[in-house]
Amino acid sequence: MSYLDSLNPSQREAAESTEGPLMIIAGAGSGKTRVLTYRIAHLLEKGVDPFHVLALTFTNKAAKEMQHRISKVVGNEAKNLWMGTFHSVFSKILRVEASKIGFPSNFTIYDTDDSRSLIKTILKEQGLDDKVYKPSTVHNRISGAKNRLISYQEYLNNAAFLEDDKAALKPHMGKIYQWYQERLFKAGAMDFDDLLFFTFKLFKDHIDVLNKYQHRFQYIMVDEFQDTNIAQYYITRKLAAANRNICVVGDDAQSIYAFRGADIQNILNFEKDYPELKVVKLEQNYRSTQTIVEAANGVIKNNRAQLRKNVWTQNEHGEKIQLIRAASDNEEGRLIATAIFESKMGQQAKNKDFAILYRTNSQSRAFEESLRKLNIKYRIIGGISFYQRKEIKDILAYLRYAINPNDEQSLRRILNYPKRGIGDTTENKLFVAADEQGASVWDILCNATAVFGPKTGTLLESFALLIKNFQQWIAHQDAFDAASEIAKKSGLLKELYDDKTVEGVARYENVQELLNGIKEYVDDPEKQDKSLGAFLQEISLLTDADDTKDKDEDVVTMMTIHGSKGLEFPQVFIVGMEEDLFPSTMMLNSRADLEEERRLFYVAITRAEKKLTLSFANSRYRFGILKNCEPSRFLSEIDSTFIEMPTKMMTSSHFEDTSRTIVRKTSPIKPLAPKSTSQSTYIPPADFKPSDTSQLSNGMRVEHPKFGFGQVKKVEINGMDRKATIDFELVGEKTLILSFAKLRIHES
């Protein structure tokens, strides 16, 4: 088995341990995917039927990559594995077993936008204020309940939940959950969380079904186990109960999705559920330099809740970590764009060698502007998804409604688009009539003249006839032919084509791109089911990480740190390393929250292969207010011997003795201790406005927004650089670069 010979001892031990419960603790860059691939290949080589192997991942991309690698070792048998994301595998099971829980097999899957739109409709119908019950907040509350396997009935019977809602001035939250679930059921739809919730319910209430899948899935593997929520773990545990051949792979140090319901206790307490558990640690990092690995280790060791491991590497020592201290967020953008430009010029690096990682999407603006000025191409990951664009949602609503005419959200989207004389009043009457008649909205549409009279009824019945025609095409044509006909006959394609604005042309091209994607799906020889329903199911389960854009495009990648998990780049910039930004002010209320932020920083550091740069700003506009910033406490957790501060940046007073910043020790929970009074007590007046300093001269009295009042001692001019040495009353003498300094000149 030559493929196993390429593994190191720990990797090989993990690949060959096929029986009983196994936990593989895989440090960053330790070859986890390779081990998983070879472990599955080893099972098949031993004679295990691939139909009996279930591998659960968090992205379709990861599943496809693993299946491709396995096929290189064992051939076409890899296609028979049950491999995919939790949601895609459970969706497949639910479509087979849907009738047992009262759903049609062609149930629609609602994405976040669909769910929040339905919640908004319910709030309007119930006369509830959507400023109090924000759809996003309501949706998150419902999602959290489902991920903990709490039904709306249990929610309404839980006094603690009801008290929490009353205290939050949202006493109707439980009822909204009920109305939302009832409307989903009526529409023959599930949201993403339901795919987990109803799989658990299916296995709990139907022992025969559970038994069937327990015997089908004799070997179960779970990737990124640290990111599983309660529902995912409970379902997996039920499936593994008969054979106990469960292998989980993960790294507790990279558990960063608590806000999505991930529960780090799943991995920390796994041994309690499986006392006979075998643990294998993959500790050799193949990705990063020694400097980066040691810096990351120094950070994560500060977490109390963790599975101890010693990550190491035989890679070169590598460059020190660069630290950039900028005067402002705009200057931070300029300095990093310049660093990328210089690296490209001096080292012949490509744009795609660089990644800029930030804590929040709102930080991207300064970097976008600076990169554009230097003509450096970039791509932002995590912007609006292709499938979330209005024109794409519109055409998909037509396709979805033709397949499932009980899908009310899709109907509301397309009933009068393109315009066909059916206004909001008629739409509302349609839904009221269905409710009063105890019929489905589709039944009312098909017999509308009996309810609305000949004029309005004819309009509605014409729409219903259009949908019936679509259903005929879907039944007898493949996905591409059916979708093309629906795009044309619905009038949507012409509506977009007639709009000759720049935006209109772009929208038309996006719909054409969707049709191209459907054609590609149909032409794929590996797709056995070429139907429109199968295509819609596949795209409904795409995740943020399944970005269809060309990854080989030569662009700088900009993204949140959360979005970067699983990726790697030769050079990484982690920006905005400031208190209340990273760690976020929202994550300072408990040790658990702070430790999650530290794990997030660990993930960011370990994305870098060759070079890592950290940056922070002295001041930053946040929510329209200019705020002075403190360096992040996480910087002090990196050994100062791994840090290097560029000499050219030390000329500015904004880059004072940074080594003190780095080695300073801080409390792990409390915010950074303030600097000495002499450095932090000055607060500028509300009317502070910097003066023109082009005529600044010795002896002038000036005011600085941070250092207070002082007297100019010396002004130096060196080319384009103008520096002033100022004796401040609070902090003593400082040398400031005048192009950065904000000074107000006072009359002596």
Q: For residue 701, what is the DSSP state?
A: E
Burial class (CB in 10 A: 0-12, 13-18, 19+), 741: buried
Got the DSSP string for 281-343?
Answer: EE-B-SSS-HHHHHHHHHHHTT-SSS-----B--S---PPEEEEEEEEHHHHHHHHHHHHHHH
* Per-residue CA distances from 450 to 191, 406, 460, 466, 536 (Å): 34, 20, 11, 19, 34
Whole-angstrom distance, CA of residue 491 vs CA of residue 498: 11
Whole-angstrom distance, CA of residue 78 vs CA of residue 399: 32
User: Which candidate in 32, 507, 611, 633 is catalytic?
Assistant: 32
Q: H or E element: which one contains 214?
A: helix 207-216
Whole-angstrom distance, CA of residue 605 vs CA of residue 357: 10
Burial class (CB in 10 A: 0-12, 13-18, 19+), 343: middle
| Local structure of 686: helix, strand or coil | coil
Contact call for residues 173 and 137 (beta carbons, < 8 A): no
User: Which candidate in 400, 598, 607, 744 is catalytic?
Assistant: 607
* Per-residue CA distances from 650 to 565, 725, 729 (Å): 33, 15, 23
Our answer to whether residue 201 is catalytic in this structure is no
744-746: strand order across its sheet: 732-737, 721-728, 708-718, 701-704, 744-746
Our answer to whether residue 224 is catalytic in this structure is yes
User: Which candidate in 13, 16, 18, 33 is catalytic?
Assistant: 33
Map tokens 């017999």 to a residue.
447
Residue 661 corresponds to which amino acid?
T
Whole-angstrom distance, CA of residue 147 vs CA of residue 232: 8
CB atoms within 10 A of CB 603: 24
Q: Dihedral through CA 270, CA 273, CA 279, CA 281, nearest 10?
A: 0
- At a CB cut-off of 8 Å and minimum separation 6, what does 677 contact? none
Contact call for residues 243 and 22 (beta carbons, < 8 A): no
- Residue closest to 63 by CA, chosen among 214, 224, 277: 224
Our answer to whether residue 477 is catalytic in this structure is no
User: Which candidate in 224, 329, 391, 580 is catalytic?
Assistant: 224
Our answer to whether residue 32 is catalytic in this structure is yes
Q: For residue 651, what is the DSSP state?
A: G
Our answer to whether residue 33 is catalytic in this structure is yes
User: Which candidate in 214, 254, 306, 313 is catalytic?
Assistant: 254
Peptide bond into 690 cis (omega under 30): no
Our answer to whether residue 607 is catalytic in this structure is yes
User: Which candidate in 97, 114, 191, 223 is catalytic?
Assistant: 223
Query: Among all residues, which ones are annotated catalytic?
Result: 32-33, 223-224, 254, 607
